[in-house]
Amino acid sequence: MTIPRANSRQKRVVIVGAGFAGLTLAKKLSGKKFQVVLLDKNNYHQFQPLLYQVASCGLEPSSISFPLRKIFQRKKHIIIRVTDVLSVSPETNTVHTGVGAITYDYLVMAQGAVTNYFNNERLQLHAYSMKSVSEALLLRNTLLQNYEQALSAVVMEERLALLNVVIVGGGPTGVELAGAIAEMKRKILPKDYPELNFRNMHIYLLEAAPRLLNGMSAASGNTVLEYLTGLGVEVQANVSVTDYDGERVSLSNGNIIHSRCLIWAAGVKGKPIPGIPKEAVTANDRLLVNSFNQVNGLTDVYALGDIALMQLDNLPRGHPQVAPVAIQQATLLAKNLEHVVTGKTIIPFNYQDQGSMATVGRNLALVEIGKIKLKGFIAWLVWMLVHLMSIIGIKNRLFILINWVWQYITYDQSLRLIIKPAHKIKNDDNETNPVPVRTKPLTGL
């Protein structure tokens, strides 16, 4: 595929992925020195920290998504292609995509991470993950559809399996989702489904480590445990899932939980693209990079964010896979690419930790910024402000704020819609009709 350059001196930077790292880098390189080709399988940027609110009926997907072409409408040197990246050929500086081959001067891998099921095929088949807007919508549909089916379930064991929710992973995603579903159980579901006894519904949060929120202090881990227990979430630490067949969750302690909805938030791994040397790919499928984010063994190929593993003496496992790391790496790489072009010295990456935070529900949150530790209502306000200001677009911020204020005043989440995907099939008259299709099959009642 031929993409013309504005002039012969213009360097082309191909960016794979429009997450926090890819989007930040594209914005920083929007001057005339570089032509940026931004590749992503979606035509929008999604704000992953709030995916759990889409899954729990708190926000519409459009509130946390922003069209890429809208962001770069006035940037003539940024070219967007919605496609899959099939492979790379570093020896010829070429990226092979679904729309053709694209040459580059510099290649930046910023495709993020995918859910890690630790090679358990049954978990991958039956469990629900939450790494994208479409997965969050599928989870929302599943939760609501399960309640609808529970109304018709004759056998009590089957009804309980439809009501129960199991969340695996005690990090911020698991904690926040558990709190959101617990609040739905207390304030919303009994009014929507008066025929169901939600005292029989159990929300389990399972963590293989000794405590929750391992990325925060032990005190915060204890506090979040108190919050969740107060909301009725049944937290089990030092417990892992060994198997799941879609209805029965088998635990490492020998116990069985009956649930039609197991949500997997227990880890992520990289998704390297074919063509990258094997010696640069770790066991967790991340890409080894040096202190300048260059992929090991390659000169003009870089990796940013969740896919990148920069091993340092004080960080043998690399930096935390969070948005601030991706944004800071992208900001520095933009400067370094400018320095490379102008012959200046490039600068090694030094992460500035901006703190950690997690929310459990209404007036319940935790914030750690250096020695400052907040909890409760004040932490909840800080959490909302930080996330609100991180969203792209004034309109999106306004919609999210309105939703949050409405939920706070009314204790209600108004987006409880089951939106099923559909495809068209031809009937006998050669006409096409939309037919709803379940992404994951459910057994009959």
Which residues are designated catalytic? 176
User: What's the rounded Cα separation, in Å, for the pair 332 and 77?
Assistant: 20
Amino acid at 137: L
Residue with tokens 């925060």: 216
Buried-state track 282-311, b at ≥16 Cβ within 10 A, e below 16: beebbbbbeebbbbbebebbbbbbbbbbbe
Number of Cβ within 10 Å of residue 435's Cβ equals: 10
Q: What is the 3-state secondary structure (H, E, C) of the chain?
A: CCCCCCCCCCEEEEEECCCHHHHHHHHHCCCCCEEEEEEECCCEEECHHHHHHHHCCCCCHHHHEEEHHHHCCCCCCEEEEECCEEEEECCCCEEEECCEEEECCEEEECCCEEECCCCCHHHHHHCECCCCHHHHHHHHHHHHHHHHHHCCCCCHHHHHHHHCEEEECCCHHHHHHHHHHHHHHHHCHHHHCCCCCHHHCCEEEEECCCCCCCCCCHHHHHHHHHHHHHCCEEEEECCCEEEECCCEEEECCCCEEECCCEEECCCEEECCCCCCCHHHECCCCCEEECCCCEECCCCCEEECHHHEECCECCECCCCCCCHHHHHHHHHHHHHHHHHHHHCCCCCCCCCCCCCEEEEEECCEEEEEECCEEEECHHHHHHHHHHHHHHCCCHHHHHHHHHHHHHHHHHCCCCCCCCCCCEEEEECCCCCEEEEECCCCCCCCC
Tokens describing residue 433:
């009709």
Q: 293 to each of 4, 32, 39, how far by Cα in Å?
A: 28, 23, 19
Structure-derived torsion over alpha carbons of residues 256, 261, 263, 269, reported in degrees to the nearest 10:
90
User: What's the rounded Cα separation, in Å, for the pair 94 and 103?
Assistant: 4
Tokens describing residue 300:
């003009």
